Amino acid sequence: MSADLVFDLTVFVLSLLVGFEVISKVPATLHTPLMSGANSIHGIVVVGAMLIATTADDWVGYLLAFVAMAFATMNVVGGYVVTDRMLGMFRTRGGAK
């Protein structure tokens, strides 16, 4: 097992623990925006999609870069916008609108 893999696994496990800790405090009222917001966070895969392009030099590589980029951007942009739209609806009495 290489040192890099051990490092990556450490990051993975600690992040899972942080995730459990932070997310278990979110009230049920916000579970839909939470899921949709978490959804946008996994849109970080867009960074990976861009890295594909560094090695792309034939049509397979270009096609993969294009499709991965389209999927990931849809995930990021759509996720953040719809989460914001939902959270904008939560208001206390006499709030905006």
Partner 1 sequence: MNAAFHLIYLACATGFVVGLHMMNSPATARRGNQVSAAAMAVAVGTTVVLLVRAGSVRPVGWLMLAAGAAVGGAAGLYAARTVAMTAMPQLVSVFNAVGGGAAALLAVDDLLRSGGAPVAAALDILIGAVTFSGSLVAAGKLQGWVPSQPIVFPGARALNVVLGVAFLGGGGWLVADPHNRPALVVLAVAALAFGVTMVLPIGGADMPVVISLLNAFTGTAVAMAGFVLGNPVLIIAGALVGASGGILTKLMADAMNRSIPSIIVGGFGTGDSAAPIAGPGGASVRAVAADDVAIQLAYAGKVIIVPGYGLAAAQAQHELAELADLLERRGVEVSYAIHPVAGRMPGHMNVLLAEANVPYPLLREMDDVNPEFARTDVALVIGANDVTNPAARRPGNPVSGMPILDVDQAHSVIVIKRSMGHGYAGIDNELYTNAKTGMYFADAKKGLAALTSAVKTLVG
Segment 11 to 30, residues that bind partner 1, using CB under 8 A: 11-13, 15-20, 22-30
Residue in 44, 25, 22, 40 with CA at minimum distance from that of residue 83: 40
Nearest to 90 by CA among 26, 24, 38: 26
* Interaction between residue 32 and partner 1 (CB under 8 A): yes
Q: In the stretch 64-93, what mask flags binding to partner 1 with x, by CB under 8 A?
A: xxxxxxxxxxxxxxxxxxxxxxxxxxxxxx
Helical spans, DSSP H, in 24-58: 31-41, 45-55
Tell me if 6 contacts partner 1 by CB under 8 A.
Answer: no
Say how far apart CA 32 and CA 93 lie, in whole Å.
Answer: 21
CB of 39 vs partner 1, minimal distance in Å:
5
Q: Tokens 């999609």 sit at which residue?
A: 49
96 touches partner 1 by CB under 8 A: no
Smallest gap from Cβ 59 to partner 1, in A, equals 9
Q: Is 5 in the site for partner 1 (CB under 8 A)?
A: yes
